Amino acid sequence: MSEKAAKPFRAIVVGGGLVGLTAAHILTAAGIDFIVLEKHKSILTSRGTQLAIWSQTFRTFDQLGLLEALQPLLDWCKRTVVLSAEDARVRGEDNTLGLMEEQFGYAVKFTQRHQMIKFLFDTLPETAKGSILLGKAVEKITTSEEGVTVVCDDGTSHEGSIIIGADGVHSKVRLLTRAVRSSVTPEELPQDQKTPFTTTYRLYFADLPMLPGLTPNTKYDATHDGMCAQIVYGSDSGAFGIYEKLEKPTCTPKRYYTEEDKEEMLKRWGDFYIAPGRTVSDVDSFRLGDAGLINLEEGLIDDWYWKRTVLVGDSVRKLEPHAGLGYNCGVTDLVVLVNKLRRLLQEDKNPGTKSLEDLFRFYQTDRAHDTQALSDTSMKAIRMLAWPDWRYKIIAKYIIPYLPVPRMMVKSVIGPLVAASPVLEWVKEGALPASKVPWKHHPII
């Protein structure tokens, strides 16, 4: 028996966050052997803004048998109130989030990122949990016709057939792959290859209890030149944030902000309103725990794969979080990728590099249109609230309040993309909830 035939197909997933753990569920369902390499020594290290789960992602969870167990972690918003951050004057209201449920049967719902990560890990089969390896920061990647080898900073080496880079916006897999492809060290790459995404806004954020005078299940967006203050309330708690435009866009490496940076940002915007009767400093005084301050990278790369390495999620596109699309795009990446991979493995249990690279090219092609459209939608979402220039300000103040723009966006832009979202081909799906818009894809079993 040849060395190639002796080695079963194995996927090495780099990154044990939301997308990496979702990959573990989908690969388990597909019967594809895998390991997940996570650089942190604990799964529960994620901190960030609230996580939105869209209608198409609920279909995938249903197929994976996770939908019912997930329900207790979910909350929702019924309406959005847009107001002036300068004087708290309400400019408009809409029920876009409620419209999604009407159109597709599943509402857009919210949960905490750390809760979702714990849920995704806890619901894995015990055999799959053993494939999640912690404290494994990737340092080197090598590729041959027979497979791939990943070397970690603890000296361990891991062999497999492909690498799935699910390690986020600062992807080490993306960096190492680009360096190997260009025959240079990572340090020798041009800066735009090291940090391909652009930061135009940063976000100050924290959790928040229910405050008197504010309505549950409501999102408040307070708009201004270069700034948006936001509260997202569920049934009994929520979160708030301050989105601030930088003086100029930057592509510099990840920045770690200090407590002094946070205090200075609060001083700039503390007297501005975040909701009717509530200023930023007032709301911040009620925050639960420490506040965070992070850059919000945006962008889309052109090179999603090379030989036996392929990227998914934030490794290929970084979406500004106002629209809440980032994780959902990563899930759809995995659905498309594993559908194709499973089909290929049914024909050839040990496909060569050429076959895999062809598959990855088709995967990128399938995802390219939706990715560009959703990237554009996310970029516009923040700019309609934290106005970068007079053009967005005019549209936000004098056009959107008098036209049903959110409803138009759902029906003509977001809606068609959601309706055309793929599903896992080989897994049965429960009865779909009643909806106005038909889904394009269904399991083919």
Q: Is residue 162 part of a domain?
A: yes
pTM of the predicted model as reported, rounded to 2 decimal places: 0.94
Dihedral angle, C-alpha 333, 336, 342, 347, nearest 10 °: -130
Write down the mean pLDDT value for the chain: 92
Give the CATH number of the domain where residue 115 resides: 3.50.50.60
Paired with 209 in beta bridges are 237
Question: How high is the pLDDT of residue 2?
Answer: 44
Going from the C-alpha of 445 to that of each of 10, 335, 423, 424, 428, the distances in angstroms are 24, 15, 12, 10, 7
Q: Is residue 374 part of a domain?
A: yes
Cβ atoms of 104 and 55 closer than 8 Å? yes
Q: Is residue 381 part of a domain?
A: yes
Q: Is residue 27 part of a domain?
A: yes
Give pLDDT tens digits for 165-203.
999 999 999 999 999 999 999 999 999 999 999 999 999
Q: Is residue 273 part of a domain?
A: no
Question: How high is the pLDDT of residue 3?
Answer: 45
User: Tokens representing 324?
Assistant: 């809440």
Q: Find the domain containing 78 and state its range.
A: 3-195+299-419
Number of domains the chain contains: 1
Sign of the dihedral through C-alpha 176, 257, 134, 314: negative
* C-alpha to C-alpha distance for 42 and 46, rounded to whole angstroms: 10
Q: Is residue 262 part of a domain?
A: no
**Residue spans of beta strands (DSSP E) within 281-421:** 288-300, 305-306, 309-311, 317-318, 386-387
Give pLDDT tens digits for 70-100.
999 999 888 899 999 999 999 888 877 778 8
Question: How high is the pLDDT of residue 409?
Answer: 74
Going from the C-alpha of 87 to that of each of 93, 271, 272, 285, 319, the distances in angstroms are 17, 10, 8, 20, 30
Question: How high is the pLDDT of residue 101?
Answer: 87
Spacing of C-alpha 357 from chain mean position: 25
User: Tokens representing 220?
Assistant: 């408040």
* C-alpha to C-alpha distance for 203 and 201, rounded to whole angstroms: 7
Q: How far apart are the first and last CA of the chain?
A: 34
User: Tokens representing 27?
Assistant: 């690969």
Q: Is residue 412 part of a domain?
A: yes
pLDDT per residue rounded down to tens, the chain (445 residues): 344 455 899 999 999 999 999 999 999 999 999 999 999 999 887 566 789 999 999 999 999 999 999 999 999 888 899 999 999 999 888 877 778 888 899 989 999 999 999 999 999 999 999 999 999 999 999 999 999 999 999 999 999 999 999 999 999 999 999 999 999 999 999 999 999 999 999 999 999 999 999 999 999 999 999 999 999 999 988 999 999 999 999 987 788 899 999 999 999 999 999 999 999 999 999 999 999 999 999 999 999 999 999 999 999 999 988 888 999 999 999 999 999 999 999 999 999 999 999 999 999 999 998 888 888 888 988 999 999 999 999 988 888 877 766 677 777 778 888 999 999 999 999 989 998 889 999 999 7
Q: Is residue 334 part of a domain?
A: yes
CA-based R_g, the chain, Å: 22
Question: How high is the pLDDT of residue 92?
Answer: 86
